[in-house]
Amino acid sequence: MNINATLLGQTIMFILFVWFNMKFVWPPIMKALSDRKKQIADGLAAGERGKHELELASKSAAENLREAKQKAAEIIAQAEKRSSQVVEEAKGVAKEEGNRIVASAKAEVEQEVFRAREMLRQHVADLAVAGAAKILDREVDAKAHADLLKTIKAEL
């Protein structure tokens, strides 16, 4: 336990060790620590940002959904309106068509009736002429009595 040059050796060794630590040990580890701290902070911030974005996205999604629903409802209402309109239009057209068909049918019927009547009149005239010829026992000259026959025909 004598004080001797060991003292100096220990001091020099100590200074060298401190220097070594200061140069090669402390800075890289502190750098790794601070880098990791930064990374964690960044990660947390990114997470927070993601959460915020998710919130915004879900909000806008809900908004979109609401709008889509509204639009769909509008479209449905419009379609309903349109369909009833179409039905009404079809009804109108059909009625008109029906009326027209009925009218044309009536006209045709009338025409048929008129034609039949004409034919009948012709027949009756012919019959009357034949009858008259029989009665007179001679042939009525159709040409000579054309005016007469016409008058009779018209009277029938």
Give the binding site for another protein (CB under 8 A): 1-11, 13-15, 17-18, 20-22, 24-26, 28-33, 35-36, 38-39
Task: Give me the amino acid identity at 64.
Answer: N
- Name the residue nearer to another protein (CB basis): 7 or 135: 7
The helix (run of H) or strand (run of E) holding residue 139 is none
3-state secondary structure of 142: coil
- Name the residue nearer to another protein (CB basis): 37 or 69: 37
**Minimum distance from CB of 50 to another protein (Å)?**
21
- Name the residue nearer to another protein (CB basis): 22 or 130: 22
**Minimum distance from CB of 42 to another protein (Å)?**
11
Whole-number Å distance between alpha carbons of 102 and 96: 10
**Minimum distance from CB of 32 to another protein (Å)?**
4
Q: How many helices (H) and strands (E) does the chain have?
A: 3, 0
Whole-number Å distance between alpha carbons of 60 and 54: 10
**Minimum distance from CB of 43 to another protein (Å)?**
12
Sign of the Cα pseudo-torsion (111, 116, 119, 125, in order): negative
Residue 142 in tokens: 């159709």
Contact by Cβ (8 Å): 126, 153: no
Q: What are the backbone dihedrals phi and psi of residue 38, each rounded to the nearest 5 degrees, phi first?
A: -65, -45
- Name the residue nearer to another protein (CB basis): 38 or 52: 38
- Name the residue nearer to another protein (CB basis): 24 or 114: 24
**Minimum distance from CB of 23 to another protein (Å)?**
8
